[in-house]
Amino acid sequence: MESMLKLVEELVSRRRWLLNEIKKFEEKYGMDSSDFYEKWSKGLLPEPLDPEIHGDFMIWYGLIEELYRVEEELRKRLKPR
């Protein structure tokens, strides 16, 4: 039980960090992450020519993917048995 609690605490901490990092990109680009994720996934956002923006978009997308993974893991761990 102790190890399960520690894992959940680590996942919650990771989720909090991810949300904080994602918020920075939302503020910088004035776009909600769910909109960005959907548009970038479907190729509806043009590939940025500016390498900094392109890098930001790649990092932002990766952070969102990681957030989804962490949230899924939390759901599995906290699901009543």
What does the block give as tokens for 27?
Answer: 């503020």
Q: Check: CB of residue 45 under 8 Å from CB of residue 36.
A: yes
pLDDT for the residue 80: 77
What are the residue boundaries of the structural domains of the chain, listed by start? 2-78
Burial class (CB in 10 A: 0-12, 13-18, 19+), 66: middle
State the average pLDDT for the chain.
94
* One-letter amino acid of 36: F
Q: Is the pTM of this model over 0.75?
A: yes
